[in-house]
Amino acid sequence: MLRYIKSAASLVLWLWVSLALSLPNCPFPGAAFPKPTNLAASPTIQAALKSLTATFQTFDTTQSNNPDGTSWSLQVFSASADQPVWEHYHTAKNLLDQSSSFAVGPDTVYRLGSLTKIFTIMTFIAEAGDTRWNDPITKYIPELQLLAARAQSDPVMNVDWSSVTLGALASHMAGIMRDYALEGELTQEHNQTVLMGQGFPAAPATQVPNCGEAVLCNRAQLFAGLAITPPSFVPSNTPAYSNLAYQLLAYALESITRKSFTQMVEADILTKLGLSRTYYRQTPPLRFGRNTPGNEVGWNFSLGESSP
């Protein structure tokens, strides 16, 4: 009996090993359904979209949504069709130039924030492939190589940069802070007197960033600041969203390709995909955003080297 169990066990093991060797990937078990196409013709989808339209018609006039002060554009689309399956646009009347007949539509330009982080990753893969995710960032950024040894004596106050991989940066697992000084709430928007009145301790003048929001930090200022910036967590331990991580990925890519990140995004993504209304370095004309003069707060604002 024991012998039988043993040979059954080795058979199972053999099967498992041979399966593992013959299948390069491990898909989730379960039924494989064909990808749905021609969604617009489906009665189920049509019924759902009708309900979606009704929901948004209510939404457009609900005062708590600020419909007179906020415009919105929505599209539902399928990767297998050129035209959206559903679209809906709302034009805020207080943002419109009263003399114009413009209305928000499919070509209206909005300011996007971190949604474009996907551009950074796609540019990286297009330019450098997908074999470098386990490399440490110190291999590509000499300034961080210089800081790397500090974590050995004090890992609480210093980022262990040689354990931070490109993959950890890309997946918000590096444990580094969200931004160095980009969001200026604590550095540039209020002075020390105001901040201490709110309960913050006095910050030593030498540790207060002198760039970030009103004056953007250049590369040298950023790395000088990172030399005195502690980690949030140890690397690869827990998710922690970081804009700074993407800036570092862009610097790494520039070091790999010897090209400027801006040129790479424009060539690999914006031009290749025909995204003619997506702007990386120039400010689009105000009218593309359907703003009136005086309502363009933040429209022409660059994040500089933090843009990736």
Dist. CA 176–CA 244, nearest whole Å: 8
Nearer to ligand NAG by Cβ, of 155 and 304: the residue is 304
Q: Which stretch binds ligand NAG (CB under 6 A): 54-62, 110-118, 141-149, 188-196?
A: 188-196
Dist. CA 149–CA 142, nearest whole Å: 13
Give the residue, chosen from 94, 191, 218, 263, that forms a contact with ligand NAG under the rule CB under 6 A: 191
Contact between 198 and ligand NAG per CB under 6 A: no
Q: Amino acid identity, residue 304?
A: G
Q: Where are the beta strands (DSSP E) in the chain?
A: 72-76, 86-90
Closest distance to ligand NAG from the beta carbon of 296 (Å): 8
Contact between 200 and ligand NAG per CB under 6 A: no
The first and second tokens of residue 277, run together, are 């209304």
Give the residue, chosen from 22, 62, 193, 206, that forms a contact with ligand NAG under the rule CB under 6 A: 193
The first and second tokens of residue 188, run together, are 């540039």
Contact between 283 and ligand NAG per CB under 6 A: yes
Nearest to 162 by CA among 186, 139, 131: 139
Contact between 281 and ligand NAG per CB under 6 A: no
Closest distance to ligand NAG from the beta carbon of 96 (Å): 19
Closest distance to ligand NAG from the beta carbon of 264 (Å): 23
Contact between 194 and ligand NAG per CB under 6 A: yes
Range 64-80 burial, b when 16+ CB lie within 10 A, else e: eeebeeebbbeeeebee
Give the residue, chosen from 38, 218, 237, 300, that forms a contact with ligand NAG under the rule CB under 6 A: 300
The first and second tokens of residue 168, run together, are 């950890």
Range 193-216 burial, b when 16+ CB lie within 10 A, else e: eebeeeeeeeeeeeebbebbbeeb
The residue ranges that bind ligand NAG (CB under 6 A) are 191, 193-194, 283, 300
